[in-house]
Structure 1
Amino acid sequence: MLERHEDHRSDKDVMTSTVLITGCSSGFGRRAVTRFLSERWNVVATLRDPARWSGERSERLQLCAADVRDENSVAAAVATATERFGRLDVVVNNAGIGLFSVFETTPMAAIEEVFDTNVYGPMRVIRAALPVFTRQGGGRIVNVSSGTATVPMPFQAVYSASKGALYNLSEALTHELAARNVGVTVVEPGFVPGTEFFATTYARFESLPTPEAYQPLVQATLGSYSTTPPPGYRATEEEVAAAVFDAATDRTGRLRRRVGRDSENLGRARGQDDTGYEAWRREFFTG
């Protein structure tokens, strides 16, 4: 059995480490930049348009134009990290897009865009970073997935499929890369309301066709997102950023970090045997 990766860097090393974070124009990515900077890390923050950056400025922050859908753009971002700071210790694959839609009428172009960003994008970043990690003797990959990778939700068939693919990629890589001292961790937030990501996802939904037959379930599903859960049930952007930082500095080889009690509950449900999970799934989606 392959051993889990353990991070043996000293506290001094951690303070001078460099992280590259994708998708930093808003949300989790922007919050993660702030968290890493507060911990005295060097940060390369990628976004398609650096002019959109509205976070803090620092001599330890390098903004970099990059699109994870473009292999050359990704390679240039990784090169920027090593040229500016001399090394690259962690990559955080945070860039992603959501999709809430009826699968039957979702255009293939929209499906391909989701997979190109949420699955192939992280693959491009990882492949660009691995030669750097090999030269340095190790590194860490943090992939931001979703609670829907554990329990897929209605009208998120494509999004859930992409995040499930990212999780499976990550788990497989923990074995492949262990001997090269490269660790892989997945962060799985639950639903985080009030974010630009959710607003953009909803706007995309409104632009796609929704057949009348699906309307009752669509409205019921959307209504579930607007309910007010108990305090602390849903994660905040800051909590997700904290989980990303914890994953980047992990010393235990832990594969998965769930953020938010909703994501934790999905994990517990999925941890049942098939009979127990089937009973939970029927009650959760029809109760």
Structure 2
Amino acid sequence: MAMILVTGASSGLGRHTADALADEGHDVVVHVRDPARLSDGNAARWKGVVAGDLAVPDEIRAVARQARAFGRFDVVVHNAGVLHSPDVSTVNTVAPYVLTALMDRPARLVYLSSSMHRTGSTDLARLSAGTASYDDSKLWVTTLALAFASRWAGTSSHAVDPGWVPTRMGGAGAPDDLAAGHRTQTWLATHPDVTPRTGGYWHHLRTQTPHPASQDEGFQARLLQALESHTGISPDGPATSWT
């Protein structure tokens, strides 16, 4: 059985992913912004809980410290995300980058993307200016997933489009199936024979072709450089204090 961290797991796709993995017998650590949102009598099913607001730099670091106390994870599912918020780039792109850089390298990384990443911008000045859109943030996190796929031997990394599903973010009228929305990331986290082993962009258990920029090594390098400059944290570990 694997030890797995799922971020943004108090509700929606994150909670469904965490529940499915726990039902399979895995040791699941859940990340939530507010631990009070887990007061549903099911705390015993989790290996542990880490808490912090991924829109706040110091709290992202705190989440990384809490997670590292559990030791090396086999899998990290970067599920947490926001849609209509000025913090889209911080929560959707910067937080996954910082957590990946500051935690011990797992065997598998899974990052939540969106079909909307295809209309995202490659203008990385929007990152430092705080003017990124949701689409931008999802292009960047998709690029991040594919960049790490080729960067670290021994660690697989994939991006997943879960579809437009009826969660609090997606809305009650979303047309896609909620169960299908978490099935791919659950499968990527645990299946012994994922093909391709790393670097896939997935939707409902099938690979698709993502935005060309996400597969461009030059843009991947520029994004990692921009994130390192923005946070003071190297992709391979902390460089300076991020405030």
Same-fold call, TM cutoff 0.5 = yes
Task: Quickly say closer, same or farther: Cα 1:270–1:196, change in 2 above 3 A.
Answer: same
Question: In the alignment, is the contact (CA less than 8 A) between 1:114 and 1:159 conserved in 2?
Answer: yes
Indicate the SS of the match to 2:159.
Answer: strand
CA distance in 1, matches of 2:140, 2:43: 35
- Of the three residues 33, 49, 58, the one matched with 1:63 is 49
Are residues 256 and 43 of structure 1, via their aligned partners in 2, closer, same or farther at CA, if it must alter by over 3 Å?
same
Decide whether the 8 Å contact of 1:247 with 1:257 is kept in 2: no
Corresponding residue of 1:172: 147
Alignment of 1:38-187 (within 5 A): 38-53=23-38, 56-58=42-44, 60-84=46-70, 86-99=71-84, 110-111=85-86, 113-129=87-103, 132-133=104-105, 139-150=107-118, 158-177=133-152, 179=153, 181-187=154-160
CA contact (8 A) 1:71 1:124 kept: no
> What is the CA-CA distance between 1:54 and the residue it aligns to?
5.0
Distance 1:269 1:62, change over 3 A: closer
Q: Residue in 1 aligned with 2:221? A: none
Residue 38 (structure 2) pairs with residue 30 (structure 1):
no
CA contact (8 A) 1:148 1:163 kept: yes
What is the TM-score of this pair, normalised by structure 2? 0.70
CA distance in 1, matches of 2:72, 2:26: 12
Contact 2:162 2:182 in 1 (8 A): no
Q: What's the counterpart of residue 239 of structure 1?
A: 180
Residue 105 of structure 1 corresponds to which residue in structure 2?
none
| Counterpart amino acid of residue 33 in structure 1 | A
Higher helix fraction (1 or 2)? 1
Amino acid of the residue matched to residue 31 of structure 1?
A: H
TM-score (norm 1): 0.60
User: Per the alignment, do residues 246 and 161 of structure 1 end up closer, same or farther by CA in structure 2, a change over 3 Å counting?
Assistant: same
Q: CA deviation at 1:21?
A: 1.0
Per the alignment, in what secondary structure is the counterpart of residue 96 of structure 1? coil
Hey, what's the Cα distance between the residues in 2 that align with 1:73 and 1:23?
14
User: Relative to 1, partners in 2 of residues 1:32 and 1:119: Cα closer, same or farther, differing over 3 Å?
Assistant: same
* Conserved? CA contact 1:142–1:185, under 8 Å: yes
| 3-state SS, counterpart of residue 76 of structure 2 | strand
AA partner of residue 246 (structure 1): W
Q: RMSD in angstroms over aligned alpha carbons?
A: 2.9
Letter of the structure 2 residue corresponding to residue 52 of structure 1: R
Larger RCO (CA under 8 A, 6+ residues apart): 1
Instruction: Give the deviation of 1:25 after TM superposition.
Output: 1.6
Name the structure 1 match of 2:169.
197
Distance in 2 between residues matched to 1:74 and 1:89, nearest whole Å = 20
- Structure 1 pair 54–150 and aligned structure 2 pair: CA distance change class (3 A): farther
Distance 1:268 1:64, change over 3 A: closer
Q: CA deviation at 1:23?
A: 0.7
AA in 2 matched with 1:139: A
Contact 2:14/2:79, CA 8 A, preserved across alignment: yes
Q: 1:139 to 1:76 in 2, by over 3 A?
A: farther
CA contact (8 A) 2:142 2:159 kept: yes
Return the offset for 1:150: 3.1
Deviation of 1:79 (Å): 4.0
Once residues 77 and 211 of structure 2 are traced to their aligned partners in structure 1, the CA distance between those partners, rounded to angstroms, is: 26
